Structure 1
Amino acid sequence: MRPTGPLGSHRRPSVVLATTAALLALGIAGCGPADPAAGPQPGGPASASTAAGAVEIRDPWVKAADKGMTAAFATLVNGGDTDVTVTGATTSVSPMELHEMTMKDGKMVMRQKEGGIVIKARGTHVLEPGGDHLMLMDLRQPVRAGDALTVTLTFGDGRTEQFTAVAKPFTGAQESYAPGHGAPMPSMSGQPTTSPAS
């Protein structure tokens, strides 16, 4: 016979609470780190590498060119908690190098960027005419306004990331992406491509 009165009404909630607590304890134990299928837990080494890999590429574009050399630009945003270094870039239409513009003997010159392009933790690094950029060294085909180029970045930890840059005409900055025009440029690799005399 079921108990009634104050004693019975207090006993039932106690039993329900004890059963619920036991089920919760079993559920939590099943998802603990000891379960190999559960994968890496937040806060471990995996979350640090995930944060380091969070690079957003904003407003990418490439300067249109018929031949010789040109450059790609973008804004690189590091959403992670550690610095990220771009160590290389590739595209199907040209070999690529990481370049910077710097003053030498009172003139603006282009050179390879030693140590890669570093994007600070929670920071932004702008690739732009007159500054750091991704150099397309020897075009195998014209890059005309409206063309879409796929560029693959390589990072210091071996990861890669692709983005699409649309070509557009640009005449703003005074630096040049072919020998003989604008700022002097040292020979980077192979035979330099000369532009027609203007």
Structure 2
Amino acid sequence: MAIRRLFTRSLVRSAALVAAALLLVVGLAACGDDDTADAPDAKAITVSDQWVKAADSGMTAAFGTISNSSDRDIRIVSAHTDTARTTEMHEVVDNGSGGTTMRQKDGGFVVPANGSMDLTPGTEHFMLMELSKPITTGQDVAFTIRFEDGSTMEFTALARDFDGNQENYEPGHEGMDE
């Protein structure tokens, strides 16, 4: 009888410990689903309305809206497409004499927490330099963007004709003196 009581007590304690451990694991997993602090930056970003300006050679640019669903700012540190030798993140700034000039954006693009940024002609954009082949109207152009945390995401942008925004470039910027 004493052995049976000891066995039952041990069994009840073991079951209680297993149940407590299971509740702890389930609770931690549930907390993890709502907490995006440790999720890769790429998981919180979407790209919409993306397009690239059709061009036969030289340079062109890509535009769109980049949205961030997380509670923290997310930094894009680089972009790449196989259709250009170099892809840079550019901004348009006042040149000090009443006009504007385009230059590489130091530190990349920051997409605000629970917000978005628009890449539009005449503002921030991805600049494709030294095209490896023509980009024709209707073509899909594949891009990969890299975030500060090392994660990446891919998207495609549809090429279209656009005659606007004949940009001025910062003096001495390699490949942009054309």
Task: Using CA pairs under 8 Å that are at least 6 residues apart, name the structure with larger relative contact order, 1 or 2.
Answer: 2
Instruction: Report the residue type matching 1:155 in the other structure.
Output: F
**How far does residue 107 in structure 1 lie from its aligned partner after superposition?**
1.7
Q: Describe how 1:80-95 pairs up with structure 2 within 5 A.
A: 80-94=70-84, 95=86
Aligned to 1:142: 134
TM-score (norm 1): 0.71
Q: State the alpha-carbon separation in 1 of the partners of residues 139 and 113 from structure 2.
A: 32
Aligned to 1:120: 112
Question: What secondary structure sits across from 1:47 in the alignment?
Answer: coil
Deviations 1:115-155 (CA, angstroms, capped at 9, x unpaired): 11001100110001000000001101100101111100011
Aligned to 1:159: 151
Q: Considering only CA atoms, is the larger Rg found in Structure 1 or Structure 2? A: 1
Aligned to 1:41: 29
**How far does residue 41 in structure 1 lie from its aligned partner after superposition?**
2.8
Q: State the alpha-carbon separation in 2 of the partners of residues 122 and 143 from structure 1.
A: 33
Greater fraction strand:
2
The answer (yes or no) to whether the contact 1:138–1:193 under 8 Å persists in 2 is no
C-alpha root-mean-square deviation of aligned residues, in Å?
Answer: 2.7
Pairing 1:131–2:117 present: no
Instruction: Report the residue type matching 1:59 in the other structure.
Output: D
**How high is the sequence identity, in percent, across the aligned residues?**
36
Aligned to 2:87: 96
Question: What secondary structure sits across from 1:29 in the alignment?
Answer: helix
The size of the alignment, in residue pairs, is 160
Q: 1:82 to 1:69 in 2, by over 3 A?
A: same
Give ranges in structure 2 of 5+ residues lacking alignment: 1-14
Pairing 1:186–2:171 present: yes
Deviations 1:20-74 (CA, angstroms, capped at 9, x unpaired): xxx89955633533xxxx7x63445973122844001011100000000000011
